[in-house]
């Protein structure tokens, strides 16, 4: 680790937010060259000695760099070949008209696809093997809202069986990939997009369906489904406009932490949750002063834990959250429109899309990266060219449903910055809406369907 790296990153963000100066790679590279030249002018002997030593030791450090770089490129190649070797398909979820299921059904479905095969041994990982990843998607096509699941073709049977088990009246239909139907970025189209991440530590939960009382079936007029806000927003767009939202998920194994716990196993969000609970518990212990009856001196000792109601609820929420199955989650949203139909104010709604799931003092979901990187100050050089490059990369990353593997980190989130969510949290932000959400833009199955009885005479 570079000394004071976090302090430098914090200073860089503060300068960018207050003044509007962004530190790009190429200006820093030019500044470094200038400093080397100036150093040589004032200290020629010292600089020459430093270069001589670097050249003398080149067989050591250059070999390490070359071998390490070559292995990294080879590993990315093998992993890319593994991903490309599988066939993928997109299944549209068509909910029934009379659905009364709670988000608990979606949580059960997510538990059923909590699969981590493909990288069980070091040899499988060495050959590029990765565990399955899925994409849960909500898309609006000119105001018509659709739900999708993107998966490997080999997992279709698992997805269908788990979905039909929880939603007997639902239909899963294989459809063409909608992301390939619009030729973007291209002339005549405008687009904006961003990634989403947590506002606090992952073990702290967002406001889930349990807090909204949706863990039990309620009377329809009494139901408050936070997903209704998202659906109505997507339904509000007009002709020539499109909104895409995806949650790319894989089983959480703790790669983001890059360390081991006290038992020598990979450090995961459960360990982080335990540390957070211990930290809160330590804050609930106040020192107590008393007078020694024999000496008359004032003494101080540790008191008993005395948490406030908020602290007790926070600790209970963390423990409940980390007790459930977890996924690494990469969330991404894109707003697309024909140039004449593009409405910039829609961007503000996309940025605050997950406000209903956020709580003060706990956790929330915030937008960042990609097009949100640009501040549009007049002194930003070459910003339009970089925007065009980011748009192409953003659409390509969305189409490939990539979040956790190279080469899709340039403008978006690094895997270490993606979210870790329990099945409860994930089912809150993505579940099949019940009939309490009466948006006419949400396509539902007009009538129930069922298979023929197995005992019919043939």
DSSP result, 235-261: HT--TTEEEEEEEEEEE---TTT-SB-
The residues spanned by each domain of the chain are 22-56, 58-86, 88-259+314-429, 269-311
Mean pLDDT of all residues in 116-145: 89
pLDDT-derived band at 102, boundaries 50, 70, 90: confident
Task: Convert the pLDDT of each residue in 410-429 to its tens digit.
Answer: 788 888 889 999 999 999 99
pLDDT-derived band at 219, boundaries 50, 70, 90: low
Q: Say what percent of the chain tops pLDDT 90.
A: 44
pTM of the prediction?
A: 0.86
**Gap between the Cα atoms of 357 and 207, Å rounded:** 5
pLDDT of 137 > 90? The answer is: yes
Show the 3-state SS of 313-382: HHHHHHHHHHCCCEEEEEEEEEEEEECCCCCCHHHHHHHCCCHHHCCCCCCCEEEECHHHHCCCCCCCCC
pLDDT-derived band at 36, boundaries 50, 70, 90: confident
pLDDT-derived band at 238, boundaries 50, 70, 90: very high
Task: Convert the pLDDT of each residue in 261-296 to its tens digit.
Answer: 888 899 999 999 999 999 998 888 777 666 776 777
Mean pLDDT of all residues in 197-223: 82
Task: Convert the pLDDT of each residue in 321-347 to its tens digit.
Answer: 999 999 999 999 999 999 999 999 999
**What pLDDT score was predicted for residue 349?**
93
Listed residue (147, 124, 204, 230) closest to 364, CA to CA: 204
If one looks up domain 88-259+314-429 in CATH, what number appears? 3.40.462
pLDDT-derived band at 2, boundaries 50, 70, 90: very low
Average pLDDT, the chain: 85
Task: Convert the pLDDT of each residue in 350-400 to its tens digit.
Answer: 999 999 898 888 899 999 898 888 877 777 777 888 888 889 999 999 999
**Gap between the Cα atoms of 404 and 116, Å rounded:** 14
**Gap between the Cα atoms of 234 and 237, Å rounded:** 6
Please tell me the least confidently modeled range out of 40-44, 116-120, 228-232, 300-304.
300-304
């Amino acid at each position: 680790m570079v000394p004071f790296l976090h302090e430098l990153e914090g200073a860089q963000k503060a300068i960018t937010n207050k003044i509007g100066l962004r530190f790009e790679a190429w200006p820093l590279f030019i500044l470094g060259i200038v400093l080397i030249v100036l150093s040589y002018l004032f200290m020629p002997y010292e600089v020459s000695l430093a270069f001589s030593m670097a050249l003398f030791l080149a067989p050591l450090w250059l070999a390490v760099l070359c071998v390490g770089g070559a292995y990294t490129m080879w590993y990315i190649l093998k992993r890319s070949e593994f991903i490309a070797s599988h066939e993928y398909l997109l299944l549209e979820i068509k909910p029934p008209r009379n659905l009364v299921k709670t988000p608990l059904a979606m949580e059960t479905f997510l538990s059923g696809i909590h699969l981590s095969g493909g990288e069980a041994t070091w040899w499988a990982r060495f050959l590029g093997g990765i565990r399955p990843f899925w994409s849960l998607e909500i898309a609006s096509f000119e105001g018509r809202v659709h739900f999708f699941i993107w998966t490997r073709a080999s997992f279709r049977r698992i997805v269908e069986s788990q979905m039909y088990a929880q939603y007997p009246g639902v239909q899963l239909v294989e459809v063409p990939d909608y992301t390939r139907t619009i030729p973007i970025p291209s002339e005549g189209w405008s687009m904006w997009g961003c990634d989403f991440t947590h506002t606090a530590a992952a073990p702290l939960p967002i406001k889930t369906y349990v807090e909204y009382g949706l863990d039990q079936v309620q009377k329809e007029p009494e139901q408050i489904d936070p997903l209704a806000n998202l659906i109505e927003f997507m339904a509000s767009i007009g002709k020539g406009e499109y909104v895409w939202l995806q949650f790319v998920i894989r089983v959480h194994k703790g790669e983001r932490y890059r360390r081991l716990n006290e038992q020598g196993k990979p450090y995961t969000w459960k360990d982080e949750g335990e540390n957070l609970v211990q930290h809160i518990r330590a804050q609930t212990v106040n020192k107590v002063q008393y007078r020694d009856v024999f000496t008359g001196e004032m003494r101080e000792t540790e008191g008993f834990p005395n948490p406030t109601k908020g602290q007790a609820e926070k600790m209970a929420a963390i423990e409940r959250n980390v007790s459930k199955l977890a996924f690494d989650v990469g969330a991404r949203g894109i707003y697309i429109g024909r140039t004449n139909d593009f409405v910039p104010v829609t961007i503000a709604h996309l940025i605050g899309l997950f406000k209903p799931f956020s709580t003060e003092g706990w956790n929330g979901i915030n937008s960042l990266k990609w097009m949100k990187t640009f501040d549009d100050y007049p002194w930003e050089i070459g910003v339009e060219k970089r925007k065009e490059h980011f748009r192409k990369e953003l659409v390509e990353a969305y189409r490939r449903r990539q979040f956790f593997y190279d080469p899709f980190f340039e403008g978006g989130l690094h895997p270490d910055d993606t979210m870790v969510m329990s099945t409860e949290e994930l089912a809150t932000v993505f579940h099949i809406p019940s009939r309490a959400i009466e948006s006419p833009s949400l396509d539902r199955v007009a009538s129930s369907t069922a298979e023929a009885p197995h005992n019919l005479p043939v």
